[in-house]
Structure 1
């Protein structure tokens, strides 16, 4: 195996870590990643990439390109933070609960994917390999938005293969399909009145919202086992002595297949209409996001398996292991014993299913997509926690990021140097993909 791309990452690890640290410090939530976007774009520009802003019509999305002609290998980057997870890289709680933080490690994700793109670019130049490297800066993954809108508006179609990753507590080859999902806001409009003096004059929007939830809960018995329905109240009344004129709900509907989500969502909409009819109110709704399930490409999983086995796993210093042990004391999980995973998973050739959703799934419906995981935190640590945020600006997180960058760059190089391998990747995609149809986020009543 040609070690040049891996050596490039090793030689430039300080620069890559600085990039991840800066994004960690900015900690910008979805749709607000202005500094993070500029920082990654400037990094890529310094290494010879040309830039295009506002990809897919999103102000904090961008496309960076190096090279020309075919094949075209793409890398997906994310950089949005989470509210309330501000945390310093110390093994105890030290952060402002009112500020944002990188509890999902997207600072590592964005920087690691950018480093992979740059490492591949230099290897191609050194070896005279034709082709194009594309880095897509993708905002707003945490609200399942960025890549969905970008895909709907024509992004990613140029790619012969897309490579991505995510920080985690185990290594992964991408043999996992995430759930398709609809995110829908429901609004009920009624008529206010004095709840004691003239209740007959009121039409309660809150009653409608509560009846909708009752109906949705009865529906659970009559949907496939893989369906998940979650809801939360968004907008409610202020005082008990006023018949509520307005109420709102936020629903997530998930399932393994997009067709199942479509069916269940249709039934949920009927429940909303029925709740409005029963209460004399008016129902309306707005689709915030409509996303696909992940289309696993087993050929790319096999490529990741090969490269990950050939790439040395991170070695941790005594200070890093001590940091992990101290931090684990704050995690309420028996699996969090302070140790760090050092075993790669076997390649199964099977698809497992993740209970969550990601907008990477929409990219996988547009182009063949590989989605590996790299260890950036100790065993048993939950994502979206201050403990994971602490690791995201630490040596443990940086080493996991650099490992992912090495693997992705090496995988990209293999795809460019082996036309037969790339042909198998594309053949599998053409055989399994059903055709991407943009799912519109519409307002209906």
Structure 2
């Protein structure tokens, strides 16, 4: 880690810049734009990069809302990953402890990407300014990565070789805890199954109809039976994206269902997806319909880098706790009161918030906000989620940390995440994460041995498993593949 003088100078610079970037985060929260539609959010981030002297390249990998900002020169090239997409139907008023939509049916930042994008940018800008002010070589890049939620924007950027010369990549994510937790997320594949049948009057000519909706329902039943016969760590879930209409007296001539197939390894996901395809074809045969299988997107399972993760942890230890106050903790208690005790215990177990590094106290169900730092075990853990950060990790050493922007018990993709997205506690967590990432970037810029060790670990991990992008070259990013 950098010496205490360097660390203090860097973190003080971040504190000075913090108000502008928390305001930036709040504006992105307000925009709440969906995958590949993040035009206002992306423009705001691009303009901020330019204001701080970054050269910006836009329209990366065929995505209008993808961009790269660069500052400095020479090696190492350190990348900071930013996200800024929201989730559909997640509208929620901020700062309240009850579910209340700001606008019925509107989108909302249910995964905290408004904080993620602004926090990573704060880290990038701060490190770039520090390197220049101290005459240190190194190139800082900020990658504006759209469509993490169901779009796999980073996977498209990797496919376009946007990370080809990057020495290391760093990112973070809002969470109910503070620290580093090495995870090997699941690979994910997404497919639309579009059934085509024959319309008919559902009463006096039903024998002439061929129901696409029946096919969707039979497919779902078939896949539910398949769950018993797939590996335990795999996941399959679906959403009916087109039920064929609202008239019950019409045999639906079209219907569509979206499936996500997840597995610890991409090869396992591909094998399981083939079985799901067979179920879909069987449902079409049973109903006399036709099925079109449309590949949407994919992401590879994450490849942890313990060397970089340990470096982030050491910086989190040096930085100290997030400076929460009683008002932050009080709001967290109000949010936590909306959870069951089972949800709170599950959150503690999921993130393994066992012991606090600073106080050595055990975290229990009475703790509303993680005010300390979890221990870093130096080994990877299973996590059932998926992220396109996985594809970045396959082409360059990559690591991330987590910061306690949410009350303990908060699950991603819920109204409680959106409600906490503009809170003072979330702002403090975001700034804390920026300090951890920027200081780790400084370590990489000033310690060739650390970077070499991270690269050696990464090289050993990938040498027997060459990366193959899971998205075929002919597939382009799509905002809405659904026929709705």
TM-score, with length taken from structure 2:
0.87
Task: Name the structure 1 match of 2:445.
Answer: 416
Closer/same/farther in 2, CA of residues 275 and 326 from structure 1, 3 Å limit: closer
Q: Does 1:285 align with 2:314?
A: no
Matched, 1:391 2:420: yes
In structure 2, C-alpha distance between the alignment counterparts of 1:199 and 1:388, rounded to whole Å: 47
Partner of 1:183: 190
Give structure 2 stretches of 5+ with no counterpart. 345-364, 476-484
Shift of residue 135 of structure 1?
Answer: 0.3
Tell me, in whole angstroms, the C-alpha distance in 2 between the residues paired with 1:240 and 1:11.
61
Q: Equivalents in 2 of 1:202, 1:93: separation in Å?
A: 43
**1:89 corresponds to:** 95
Cα displacement (A) at 1:46: 1.3
Q: State the Cα deviation string for residues 298-329 of structure 1 (Å, max 9, x = none).
A: 11111111111111211222322332233333
Moved more, 362-371 or 399-408: 362-371
Q: Which residue of 2 aligns with 1:139?
A: 146
Q: Match of 1:389, SS?
A: helix
Match of 1:379 in 2: 408
| 276-285 or 295-304, larger mean C-alpha shift | 276-285
- Among 259, 269, 276, the residue aligned to 1:251: 259
Deviations 1:77-101 (A, max 9, x none): 0111223323223445553333332
Confirm or deny: 8 A CA contact 1:337 1:380 kept in the other structure: no
For the pair 1:65 / 2:70, whether they are aligned, the reply is yes
Note the 1:288-303 alignment, pairs <5 A.
288-303=296-311
Equivalent of residue 54 in structure 2, options 49, 53, 64: 49
In structure 2, what is the Cα distance between the partners aligned to 1:127 and 1:305?
24
1:241-287 Cα offsets, whole Å, 9 max, x none, are 33322121111111111010010001111222222223222111111
Summarize deviations over 1:218-249 as a string: whole Å, max 9, x none. Answer: 22222111111112222223334333221211
Does 1:119 pair with 2:126? yes
Offset, 1:393: 0.9
Higher mean displacement: 269-278 or 156-165:
269-278
Cα offsets for 1:362-403 (capped at 9, x unmatched): 111121110110111221122222322222211100110010
1:265 corresponds to 2:265: no
The yes-or-no answer on 1:172 pairing with 2:176 is: no
Give the CA deviation at 1:409: 0.3
Match of 1:437 in 2: 468
Matched residue pairs, number?
A: 443
Q: Counterpart of 2:454? A: 425
Superposition deviation, residue 187 in structure 1: 0.8
Specify the alignment match of 2:157 in structure 1: 150
Q: Residue 72 of structure 1 contacts residue 134 of structure 1 at CA under 8 Å; is this kept in 2?
A: yes
Match of 1:323? 331
Matches within 5 A, 1:334-345: 335=344, 337=366, 339-345=368-374
Deviation at 1:338, TM superposition (A): 6.5
- Contact 1:174–1:370 (CA under 8 A) maintained in structure 2: no
Partner of 2:482: none
2-structure distance, mates of 1:271, 1:5: 56
| CA-to-aligned-CA distance 1:179-229 (integer Å, 9 cap, x gap) | 101111001111222334333322222232222223222222221111111
Task: Select which of 356, 359, 364 maps to 2:393.
Answer: 364
In 1, Cα distance between equivalents of 2:179 and 2:385? 16
Change (3 A) 1:202 1:52: same
CA distance in 2 between counterparts of 1:246 and 1:410 reads: 54
Change (3 A) 1:174 1:151: farther
User: What is the CA deviation profile of residues 13-58 of structure 1, one whole-angstrom value per residue up to 9, with x for unaligned ones?
Assistant: 2122222122122222222211111111111111111011111111
CA contact (8 A) 2:80 2:120 kept: yes
CA distance in 1, matches of 2:448, 2:61: 30
Q: What CA distance in whole angstroms lies between the structure 1 residues aligned with 2:37 and 2:390?
A: 22
Assess, with a 3 A threshold, how the Cα gap between structure 1 residues 59 and 191 changes in structure 2: closer, same or farther. Answer: same
Instruction: Report the Cα distance in structure 1 between the residues aligned to 2:240 and 2:78, rounded to whole angstroms.
Output: 43
| CA distance in 2: counterparts of 1:249 and 1:92, whole angstroms | 32
Q: Does 1:80 align with 2:111?
A: no
What is the CA–CA distance in structure 1 between the aligned matches of 2:60 and 2:117, rounded to whole Å?
16
- Tell me whether 401-410 or 201-210 shows the greater mean CA deviation: 201-210
Partner of 2:379 in structure 1? 350
What CA RMSD, in Å, does the superposition of the two structures yield over aligned residues? 1.9
Contact 2:166 2:396 in 1 (8 A): yes
Deviates more, 1:354-363 or 1:193-202: 193-202
Aligned-partner SS, 1:66: strand
Question: For the residues of structure 2 that align with 1:339 and 1:199, how far apart are their CA atoms?
Answer: 57
Q: Secondary structure at the match of 2:291?
A: strand
